[in-house]
A and B are shown apart, each in its own frame.
Chain A
């Protein structure tokens, strides 16, 4: 009896031939266990890719470089362009449109007939019968005019951002008219596209009237015709033009912060990458010579290193900066670069000397010497490839150090000089308005922190990936 129901067995039936029962031929190839041979650097790369933190840091570093190098091509706002109408604006993605209005100062104002001076008590002064706006109220100007009040010697104008509850709550005193016959006022004080409550109150020269007149006026964003012309926009009166958005907001001069941060990144990363490249190379050459030749030369060279390391770093950075002197129109980047290089090379020199001394004693170097290797061959074939790992780690740790030093010096005002911006100098400018518009400090500070963190984590990951102790030697 079949164990499998007949209908099922027919479904399961597989075509089996005699050939399937022939013994498998012995193939030597099958028993070979082969995995692709990895060179040292391929192995390091694999280890680095396994380290999520290091890999994401690498992506961040790449993104930062793209931001710095490609950003200015995509974000074409000039970092130095000031817009005093848009001071310390918060971050916003939406671009606003603005009306083109005529230039301020072209309004003659409203004159009233000079009324005879009456001997009246201040308390008897009445409120003005009307308060109106001439033309369109815009962020460029608000042109107020009102009717004369009997006995008024001048008028006081107030502005508030909410409806006043009493005469004590009229808000910001904008000014006073100088003569009794001036019945108008042009407000140009830091106007924003919002509703303001304007109040006019008459005065007999000694006391204010008890009554005021208030009008709520909603302002429209506007740009003057001459500004529009300067920026190459349509300058017909009444036209709506689009104003650029400021995703990072603007600074205290109305400059676009995103463009400023991009420009500052260029300075910060330039110093942060070029300075380490220079001082690490200097350290490699110096340490390599000391380690390779050894003896008294080594002792002498290492004493020089000790001397430079003993110098107080920041004090000397500042002294260098003063010593170099920065003339008008100079950015101060080169003196800072030089100072960084001159003070930072000894650490690398020590490290490389130690590495060279260690590798010089390795048996494979001795084997190469016995085989007749020239010193240059030893250096480039054996010593350099085996010190590349530590060099790379030093370099990745030197970069955040240099960026941080640059930012610190610029922050305390000893770094790049205005108008050149770097993240440090942007932070310095931002800290003045920290309480009212924190974004001016937060964005550059965030970029400094992100860059320093990314390079540090990348260096950490690289060190782990290169560390031969973690690597199996068998």
Chain B
């Protein structure tokens, strides 16, 4: 494994000492050149997991190993600097992720400037190379972010992250703020870059079909815990966990005839509050198959079929 989180936890403390279990005991590894898709509803802790994994949030518990070495629980600027050319991230919001006061050149060159003091000419060449590689042109160098569309900004974000040539790229819902037509282009671009650079990707999204399209393995999160992990096709077509089954069944169908025949709201209710959780199955309250045991004991993620891990008492 290139990077491996074991029992990773991230709690946020609210006023009055209540704890938000944003990520609660998640173990997930990503191999080299592998794309892992991480899906789940809003509020399931996908983004928090991604950011805790790379050190943007301090870890509340558990550890992360990168090539076998334990990464610090609390990052300093020096830790980030050391890690910069290994792990990078691209963000969900293409508007907030670029500094509005900097030109595209300054934004993309930031990683180079922070890493080593290259000459301006070589930096420029590299920036132009990356700008063209993500589908923009050298004309755009002196422009400002507000002159670009969402898709173009996301490309700038990708160029900024990849110019330092990392091994692992965390994609934090990189397409959810984009138009559908642009989503495909950006996913296409990420796929190409992943292949040509031999990147490992943690692809966080809530769009199941997009995740199925890009990832080798799929991980499903619910209320801060990982409930299912397995090869993408297997999880997508033969989900084992009741929640995954409902999630995949509720995916909108492009065929209207099919869509009409579908049964009504499959998952009842909303994702519960992640504050001060009790030791029980996270999904028990909404699970159609819940048993008394599910309300008193928290299931662990275990291998129920070869290469398929599920956290459910029923399997």
Interface residues of A (CB under 8 A from B): 34, 37-40, 362-364, 366-375, 377, 381-382, 385-386, 468, 471-474
B99–A366 CB distance below 8 A: no
Contact A472–B146 (Cβ < 8 Å)? yes
Question: Do B115 and A372 touch across chains, with their CB atoms under 8 A apart?
Answer: yes
Beta-carbon contacts under 8 Å, B58-87 to A? 75, 77-78, 80-84, 87
Contact at B114–A373, with CB atoms within 8 Å?
yes
- Told that A369-B77, A371-B88, A473-B95 touch, could you supply 9 new A-B pairs with CB distance under 8 A? A364-B107, A367-B91, A369-B75, A370-B56, A370-B84, A371-B164, A373-B77, A468-B100, A474-B149
Do A375 and B89 touch (CB < 8 A)?
no
- Known A-B contacts A366-B91, A369-B56, A370-B84; the reply to A386 vs B111 at CB < 8 A is no
Alpha-carbon gap, A40 to B107, bound state (A):
15
| B144–A364 CB distance below 8 A | no
Q: Give A366 Cβ to nearest chain B Cβ, in Å.
A: 6
Which chain B residue lies CB-closest to A372?
A: B81
| Complex-state Cα separation, A372 to B92, whole angstroms | 20
Task: List 21 A–B pairs whose Cβ atoms lie within 8 Å, in order of A's numbering.
Answer: A34-B139, A40-B100, A363-B93, A364-B96, A364-B107, A366-B56, A369-B56, A370-B56, A370-B83, A370-B88, A372-B77, A372-B78, A372-B80, A372-B83, A372-B84, A372-B114, A372-B115, A373-B80, A374-B77, A381-B99, A382-B99
Q: Counting CB contacts under 8 A, is B142 at the interface?
A: yes
Which residues of the partner chain A approach B160 to less than 8 Å between Cβ atoms? 367, 371
Contact B89 A367 (CB under 8 A): yes
Taking the closest CB of chain B, its distance from the CB of A198, in whole angstroms, is 79
Question: Which 4 pairs across A and B sit closest by C-beta, in order of nearness?
Answer: A372-B81, A363-B97, A363-B91, A372-B84
How far apart are the CA atoms of A362 and B92 in the complex, in Å? Answer: 11
Work out how many contacts link A and B, with CB atoms closer than 8 A.
91
The residues of A that contact B54 with a CB separation of less than 8 Å are 370
8 Å CB interface, B151-173 against A? 157, 160-161, 164
Q: In the complex, A367→B55 CA distance in Å?
A: 12
Q: Which residue of A lies closest to B160 (CB)?
A: A367
CA distance A38 to B81 in the complex (A): 32
B268 within 8 A of A: no
Please tell me if B227 contacts chain A, counting CB pairs below 8 Å: no
A367 to chain B, nearest CB (A): 6
Asked if B255 lies at the interface with its beta carbon under 8 angstroms from chain A, I say no
Choose one: B78, B95, B142; the contact of A37 (CB below 8 Å). B142
Least Cβ distance of A358 to chain B in Å? 10
B98 at the interface (CB under 8 A from A): yes
Chain A residues near B103 (CB-CB < 8 A)? 37, 39
Max count, chain B CB within 10 A of own CB: residue among A367, A373, A377, A473: A367
Which residue of chain B has its CB nearest to the CB of A375? B77
- Are B144 and A39 in contact, CB atoms less than 8 angstroms apart? yes
Q: Is B293 part of the binding interface, using a Cβ–Cβ cutoff of 8 Å?
A: no
Q: Within the assembled complex, what's the spacing in Å between the Cα atoms of A37 and B92?
A: 26
The answer to the question of B143 belonging to the interface, with a C-beta cut-off of 8 Å to chain A, is: yes
Residues of A contacting B115 with CB < 8 Å? 371-372
| B264 at interface by CB-CB < 8 Å | no
A371/B144 in contact, CB under 8 A: no
Closest residue to A41 on the B side, CB-wise? B101
Measured CB to CB, the closest approach of chain B to A453, in angstroms, equals 31
Is B216 an interface position by the 8 A CB rule? no
In the complex, are the beta carbons of A363 and B77 less than 8 A apart? no
Contacts of B157 in A (CB 8 A): 367
What is the minimal beta-carbon distance from A296 to any residue of chain B, in angstroms?
12
- Given the complex of chains A and B, what is the CA–CA distance between A221 and B227 in angstroms? 104
- Docked Cα-Cα span, A225 to B182, in Å, equals 92
Nearest Cβ in chain A — how far from B167, in angstroms? 14
- Decide: B77 and A367 in contact? CB cutoff 8 A: no
Cα distance, A464 to B160, chains bound together (Å): 32
Task: Using known A-B contacts A38-B144, A371-B84, determine if residue A364 contacts B99 with beta carbons closer than 8 Å.
Answer: yes
Q: Does B207 contact A (CB under 8 A)?
A: no
CA distance A381 to B89 in the complex (A): 20
> Could you say which residues of chain B place their CB within 8 Å of the CB of A382?
99
Whole-angstrom CA separation of A471 from B144 in the bound complex: 13
Bound Cα distance from A382 to B54, whole angstroms: 21
Tell me if B110 is interfacial: C-beta within 8 Å of chain A.
Answer: yes
In chain B, what residue has the closest Cβ to A371?
A: B111
Report B291-307 CB contacts with A as 1/0, cut-off 8 Å: 00000000000000000
For B164, the closest partner residue in chain A by CB is: A371
| B89 and A364 contacting across the interface, CB-CB below 8 Å | no
Bound Cα distance from A374 to B77, whole angstroms? 6
B270 at the interface (CB under 8 A from A): no
How many Å lie between the Cα of A7 and that of B160 in the bound state?
Answer: 70
Decide if A40 touches B144 in the complex (CB within 8 Å).
Answer: yes
Given contacts A370-B87, A371-B84, A471-B146, contact A386 B77 (CB under 8 A): no
**Beta-carbon contact of B89 and A366 below 8 Å:** yes
- The answer to whether B96 touches A363, judged by C-beta atoms less than 8 angstroms apart, is yes
What's the Cα separation between A471 and B51 when bound, in Å? Answer: 31
Chain A residues with CB under 8 A of B96: 362-364
- Residues in A whose Cβ lies below 8 Å from that of B51: 366
User: How far apart sit A8 and B179, CA to CA, in the bound complex (Å)?
Assistant: 60
Minimum CB–CB distance from A356 to chain B (whole Å) comes to 15
Bound Cα distance A472, B110 (Å): 25
The answer to whether B84 touches A473, judged by C-beta atoms less than 8 angstroms apart, is no
**Cβ-closest chain B residue relative to A474:** B149
Question: A385 to chain B: which residues have CB within 8 Å?
Answer: 99, 101
Which residue of A has the minimal Cβ distance to B106?
A381
Q: A40-B144, A473-B146 are in contact. Are A364 and B98 (CB under 8 A)?
A: yes
Chain A residues near B164: list those with CB within 8 A. Answer: 371
A44 to chain B, nearest CB (A): 11
Bound Cα distance from A279 to B95, whole angstroms: 33
Instruction: Find the A residue at minimum CB distance from B170.
Output: A370
**Contact between A37 and B144 (Cβ–Cβ < 8 Å)?**
yes
Distance from B72 Cβ to chain A, minimum over Cβ atoms (Å): 14
Query: Once bound together, how far apart are the Cα atoms of A377 and B99, in whole Å?
Result: 13
Q: Which residue of A lies closest to B78 (CB)?
A: A372
A471's closest neighbor in chain B, by CB?
B146
Interface hub of B87, B110, B150, B160 (most chain A Cβ within 10 A): B110
Report whether B114 and A377 are in contact in the complex, using a CB–CB cutoff of 8 Å: yes
**Cβ of B139 to closest chain A Cβ, rounded Å:** 8
Q: Are A367 and B80 in contact (CB under 8 A)?
A: no
Whole-angstrom distance between the alpha carbons of A385 and B81 in the complex?
23
Report the separation of the CA atoms of residues A385 and B103 in the bound assembly, to the nearest whole angstrom.
Answer: 13
Q: Which residues of B contact A472 (CB under 8 A)?
A: 146
Complex Cα spacing A367 to B56, Å: 9
Q: Which of B80, B97, B147, B150 contacts A371 (CB 8 A)?
A: B80
Question: Distance (Å) between the CB of B148 and the closest chain A CB?
Answer: 9
- Nearest chain-B residue to A362 (Cβ)? B96
Closest Cβ of chain B to A170, distance in Å, is: 80
Residue from B55, B81, B115, B139 having most chain A Cβ neighbours under 10 A:
B81
Closest to A473 in B: B95
Most B-side CB within 10 Å, residue of A366, A375, A471:
A366
